[in-house]
């Protein structure tokens, strides 16, 4: 019996215009009546995830949790103090930042407290970020100003996934880190062992829930560890990177339709009968 549904945010739970489809709001309410917990799971920061719910009903996240930074941080919704958090050493982030300069790509650096620094961004990425999160631009010359700050991750931006794959190969292994790809345009470096699957397992442990009793929903490569960790992995119809062929269930619904409605109708409500 499923007790928890964890969903990626961008291009999964959120429509392409960054809104929350009404079908998803209704589905969360239906899940709640059946005692099933909805958990947002994002590569973005905790504060950025909450911002996506700013125009939603105020009680939509009552009593739930947020998995952010691709599984690196877990919070109770409404509590800025994390239950679990992972970070990367400054020298590791700086080393990756310096290597990234050779590839002429955009860069985002995420502080553990949710502040995002960005440099060399293409205009379309600026527009994308403007609809998702607050960020601060810097000149891209040095990140020494972040030396005394806790840092969660660094990512590189290029609207060419094949290029980013080659970039990761050329950078090679970086001790203490793992990398993933997301949204067809990001190469992300995280603390080793951290991914959305780790975040889901950690939250299940905190809640005393068997991870086999969870459903995970996603669209991109950074969601795959979560889809594999869950009892059931669901890919939206707009999934990229062949995720639909790797998930346990390939949905008919896209992010614009409200994917959670299909999940509730097919997997949650039948178990309550």
Domain boundaries, the chain: 4-85+195-272, 90-191
> Which residues of the chain are modeled with pLDDT < 50?
none
Fold classification of 4-85+195-272 (topology level): Rossmann fold (3.40.50)
Coil, strand or helix at 249: strand
Q: How far is CA 268 from the centre of its chain?
A: 23
Q: Do domains 4-85+195-272 and 90-191 have the same CATH topology?
A: no
Ranges assigned E (strand) in 158-251? 177-182, 186-191, 214-218, 232-235, 249-250
Report the candidate in 216, 113, 93, 211 with the shortest Cα–Cα distance to residue 156: 93
What was the pLDDT predicted at 131? 67
Pairing of strands 177-182, 186-191: antiparallel
What was the pLDDT predicted at 165? 97
Number of Cβ within 10 Å of residue 120's Cβ equals 17
Query: Tokens 């969660």 correspond to what residue?
Result: 152
What was the pLDDT predicted at 133? 76
Q: Are 227 and 248 in contact (CB under 8 A)?
A: yes
CATH code for the part of the protein at 90-191: 3.30.1240.10
Q: pTM here? A: 0.94
CA dihedral (155, 162, 227, 255) positive or negative: positive
């Amino acid at each position: 019996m499923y007790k928890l549904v964890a969903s990626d945010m961008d291009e999964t739970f959120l429509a392409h215009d960054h809104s929350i489809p009404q079908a998803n709001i209704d589905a969360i309410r239906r899940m709640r009546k059946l005692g099933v917990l909805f958990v947002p799971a994002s590569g973005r920061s905790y504060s950025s995830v909450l911002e996506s719910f700013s125009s939603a009903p105020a009680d939509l996240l009552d009593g739930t949790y947020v998995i952010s930074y691709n599984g690196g941080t877990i919070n109770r919704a409404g509590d800025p103090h994390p239950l679990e958090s992972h970070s990367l050493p400054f020298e590791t982030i700086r080393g990756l930042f310096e290597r990234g300069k050779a590839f002429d790509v955009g860069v985002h650096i995420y502080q553990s407290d949710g502040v995002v620094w960005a440099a060399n961004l293409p205009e379309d990425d600026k527009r994308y970020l403007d609809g998702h999160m607050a960020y601060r631009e810097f000149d891209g010359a040095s990140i020494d100003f972040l030396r005394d700050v806790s840092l969660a991750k660094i990512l590189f931006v290029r609207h060419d996934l094949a290029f980013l794959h080659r970039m990761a190969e050329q950078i090679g292994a970086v001790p203490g880190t793992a990398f993933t790809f997301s949204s067809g345009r990001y190469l992300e470096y995280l603390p080793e062992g951290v991914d959305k699957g780790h975040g889901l397992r950690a939250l299940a442990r905190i809640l005393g829930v068997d991870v086999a009793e969870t459903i995970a929903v996603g669209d991109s490569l950074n969601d795959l560890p979560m889809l594999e960790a869950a009892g059931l992995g669901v890919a939206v119809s707009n999934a990229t990177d062949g995720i639909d062929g790797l998930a346990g269930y390939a949905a008919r619904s896209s992010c614009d339709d409200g994917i959670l409605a299909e999940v509730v109708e097919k997997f949650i409500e039948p178990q309550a009968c």
